[in-house]
């Protein structure tokens, strides 16, 4: 399962309202970054037959099968402070992360 914190779900819901063609949030993993893999987030306008569809706190989440293997058990959080704001991946599968938190290895 992949979950959103309450504050992350609220922020995604606010962003989804801005464009009615968006139906949810796609989470993914791509090769790259200083630790081997990087996270990706984008809004979904359509779902493919191969995608895995989940829901957390009323938000539709879409994940491709390969990314799901790396993201199982992950929690997506959101923080907003003076120095930094954005989504944060709390991934129990990550064995090592880079200093900026945007890439990881397993």
Tens of pLDDT, residues 34-82: 657 888 999 999 999 999 999 999 999 999 999 999 999 999 999 988 8
- What does the pLDDT look like over 6-24, one tens digit per residue? 999 999 999 999 888 899 9
> Does pLDDT of 106 surpass 70?
no
Q: What are the helix (H) ranges across the chain? A: 6-17, 65-71
CB contact at 8 A, 2 and 24: no
- What does the pLDDT look like over 84-105, one tens digit per residue? 889 988 988 876 665 555 555 5
Q: How many domains does the chain have?
A: 1
pTM for the model: 0.84
Q: For position 25, what pLDDT does the model report?
A: 96
The CATH number covering residue 16 comes to 2.60.300.12
Domain span at residue 73 reads 3-105
CA distance 16 to 90: 22
Taking Cα atoms as reference points, which of 74, 8, 13 lies closest to residue 39? Answer: 74
Taking Cα atoms as reference points, which of 80, 48, 76 lies closest to residue 63? Answer: 48
Write phi, then psi, for 104 (nearest 5 degrees). -155, 170
């Amino acid at each position: 399962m992949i979950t959103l914190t309450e504050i992350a779900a609220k922020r995604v819901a606010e962003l989804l309202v801005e464009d009615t063609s968006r139906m949810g949030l796609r989470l993914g993993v791509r090769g790259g970054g200083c630790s081997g893999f990087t996270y990706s987030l984008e809004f979904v306008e359509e779902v493919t037959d191969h995608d895995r569809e989940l829901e957390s706190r009323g938000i539709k989440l879409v994940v491709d099968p390969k990314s799901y293997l790396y993201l199982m058990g992950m929690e997506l959080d959101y923080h907003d402070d003076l120095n930094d704001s954005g989504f944060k991946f709390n991934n129990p599968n990550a064995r090592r992360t880079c200093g900026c938190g945007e890439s990881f290895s397993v």
